[in-house]
Amino acid sequence: MKLFLMAMKNRKMLFNLIKSDFKNRYLGNHLGIVWAFIQPLVMVAVYWFVFTKGFRVGAVSNVPFLLWLLAGMVPWFLLNDAIMSSSSAVTSQAFMVKKIVFEVKLLPFVKIGSAVLVNLAFWVFLLIVCLAYGYYPSWWWLQLAYYMLCIIAISLSLGLLFSAIMPFMPDMGQIISVIFQVLFWATPVMWNETMLHGKLIYIIKLNPFAYIVNGFRETLINHQPFWQHYSMMAYFWLFTLVTYWLGNRTFNKLRPHFADVL
């Protein structure tokens, strides 16, 4: 709670830092910010072509495959981008870490905010696809604000933990990248949970990202309330709070030594 109050108190500075980070991500490239959208869009196009034209996959639970795919990919892109970028918040902003007047713990907020801006285009694209297939906005879509809060909360929790460790363990970035490659396939982004049986179902439910991806699909497509799966909701927030506590504790302990290793 203290960190969020600090963020609110410094919201103008945070907003300016987010805008700056957003611009600097692709500074120097001829296409600039367009590169932020090309890779994910190409990935979606490839998966759509392979599964619909190659494997002849049709509708999933009577939902057009492209819509079903995007409803899972859009939150995953944001989760992946927010956590990966916030994990390097300290090492990538070494000059700010050495400034005594700046609260370094706010740096993960900057990276997450920049990731949200980058991914806004995919939200618009998802909306267009929903409309194209006859899935029109409803009051249920207000639940997306809740799932956005979930994404920000878990990204901040993991970002605090990883960003505190990375200055002392440079390989952490590569480790996180490999973990997320595994998590992509361990999260029901490209497949449906109905395909699982027995103990595999319970193993997958240990993945907190599955709660968010499924939540997006249930909100946009099935119009299910977010509190329906209350056990998964309780597990997600318990995981997030414990991770935040661990990340905050680790950050506070290692913060005095950042300048020595950067």
**pLDDT tens per residue across span 208-260:** 999 999 999 999 888 888 888 888 999 999 999 999 999 999 998 998 888 77
Asked if pLDDT for residue 194 goes beyond 80, the answer is no
198-232 per-residue burial string, b: 16 or more CB within 10 A, e: under 16: eeeeeeebebbbbbbbbbbbbbbbeeeebeebeeb
**pLDDT tens per residue across span 26-57:** 666 666 667 767 777 787 778 777 777 665 66
Q: Domain map of the chain by residue range?
A: 2-261
The 3-state DSSP class for residue 60 equals: strand
The whole-chain average pLDDT of the chain stands at 84
Please tell me whether the overall predicted TM-score, pTM, comes out greater than 0.85 for this model.
Answer: yes
| Nearest-angstrom CA–CA distance, 235 and 208 | 8
Give me the helices (H) in 89-134, please. Answer: 89-92, 94-97, 107-132
How high is the pLDDT of residue 41?
A: 76
